[in-house]
């Protein structure tokens, strides 16, 4: 996985073909203005994310991260520009027809359902036999290391375990990409660090594209194959953690990543 300057540095928006097999997500010229808004909260965003990448979108609160993620998921339409998923234009495709899932910070499990029931809920739109449902849920339970807790209710679980259930519910459909919007922001520091490692392990195991939104520099640098730094609706720089740390292309990136030029 050695990356040379020529592979990365001269084409900061590109992913290298060694690690990333093909394109998962391609955003082209996307701008967004809400009907009630006076300005574009996304400004001409171009972004390509490779299949199987752990990609983070890093930026301060209010810079447009969630809006960009919601556009990828299909909950918002761009005012201009297009979104492609796995080489198909999905700009006008509703969320439930996109082969991805979204995990939020407030993961809202059903209190009256068991761990098994909560995870199986993620399958409800698929017509599967009972044994297939069983197999899929067990696979997801194993992935997030909750074996033995299938019959527990959410209130009997720790915050970290509840987070694992939410992840399993999002992955049980076997989506091709997972979008995560500050999923660890509500956890305390120790638990957050433990869950970071878990997220990385899970992403490696399932091998799908993760798009991870955070305002936490340390988190983005530790987790990502590549990341984009965002401010006021614009992507300022896209690259590997090393590139952004060692060669920030503008003062905001330098300051935000914690290095200096």
The footprint of ligand ADP (CB under 6 A) covers: 34, 36-37, 41, 59, 61-67
Structure tokens at 191: 């638990």
Nearer to ligand ADP, 17 or 37 (CB): 37
Count of chain residues binding Mg ion (CB under 5 A): 1
The H-or-E segment that residue 203 falls in is helix 189-206
Q: What is the largest CA-CA distance in the chain?
A: 59
Residue with tokens 């060692």: 246
Nearer to ligand ADP, 37 or 218 (CB): 37
> Closest approach of Cβ 60 to Mg ion, in Å?
10
Instruction: Report the site for Mg ion in 42-71 (rule: CB under 5 A).
Output: 66
Nearer to ligand ADP, 41 or 120 (CB): 41
> Closest approach of Cβ 146 to ligand ADP, in Å?
29
User: 71 and 77 in contact (C-beta within 8 Å)?
Assistant: yes
Q: Which contacts of 142-148 are long-range, i.e. CB under 8 A and separated by 24 or more positions? A: 143/168, 143/171, 143/202, 143/205, 143/206, 144/168, 144/171, 144/198, 144/202, 145/198, 146/115
> Closest approach of Cβ 212 to ligand ADP, in Å?
13
Residue nearest to Mg ion (CB): 66
In angstroms, the CA 239 to CA 23 distance is: 16
Nearer to ligand ADP, 34 or 110 (CB): 34
In angstroms, the CA 137 to CA 123 distance is: 9
- Integer CA distances (angstroms), 247 to 8, 119, 255, in order: 11, 43, 12
> Closest approach of Cβ 47 to ligand ADP, in Å?
15
Nearer to ligand ADP, 39 or 130 (CB): 39
Nearer to ligand ADP, 52 or 64 (CB): 64
User: Which option in Mg ion, ligand ADP, none does residue 61 bind, with CB closer than 5 to 8 A by kind?
Assistant: ligand ADP
> Closest approach of Cβ 6 to ligand ADP, in Å?
33
Residue with tokens 């939104």: 213
> Closest approach of Cβ 216 to ligand ADP, in Å?
12
Q: Where on the chain is the footprint of Mg ion (CB under 5 A)?
A: 66
């Amino acid at each position: 996985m050695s990356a040379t300057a020529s592979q990365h540095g001269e084409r900061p928006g590109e992913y290298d073909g060694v690690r990333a097999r093909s394109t998962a997500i391609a955003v082209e010229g996307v701008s967004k203005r809400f009907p009630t808004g006076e300005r574009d909260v996304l400004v001409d965003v171009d972004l390509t994310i490779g299949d199987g990448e752990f990609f983070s979108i890093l930026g301060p609160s209010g810079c447009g991260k969630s809006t960009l993620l919601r556009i990828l998921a299909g909950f918002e339409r761009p005012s201009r520009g297009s979104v492609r998923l796995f080489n198909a234009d999905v700009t006008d495709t509703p969320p439930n027809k996109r082969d991805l899932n979204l995990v939020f910070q407030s993961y809202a499990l059903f209190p009256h359902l068991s761990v098994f029931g909560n995870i199986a809920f993620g399958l409800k739109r698929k017509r599967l036999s009972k044994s297939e449902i069983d197999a899929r849920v067990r696979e997801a339970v194993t992935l997030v290391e909750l074996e033995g807790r299938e019959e527990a209710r959410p209130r009997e679980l720790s915050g970290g375990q509840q987070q694992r259930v939410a992840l399993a519910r999002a992955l049980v459909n076997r989506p091709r990409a997972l979008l995560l919007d500050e999923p660890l922001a509500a956890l305390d520091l120790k638990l957050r660090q433990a869950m970071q490692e878990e997220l990385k392990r899970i992403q490696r195991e399932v091998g799908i594209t993760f798009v991870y939104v955070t305002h936490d520099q340390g988190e983005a640098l530790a987790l990502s194959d590549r990341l984009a730094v965002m401010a006021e609706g614009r992507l300022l720089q896209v690259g590997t953690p090393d590139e952004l740390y060692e060669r920030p292309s503008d003062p905001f990136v330098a300051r935000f990543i914690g290095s200096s030029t």
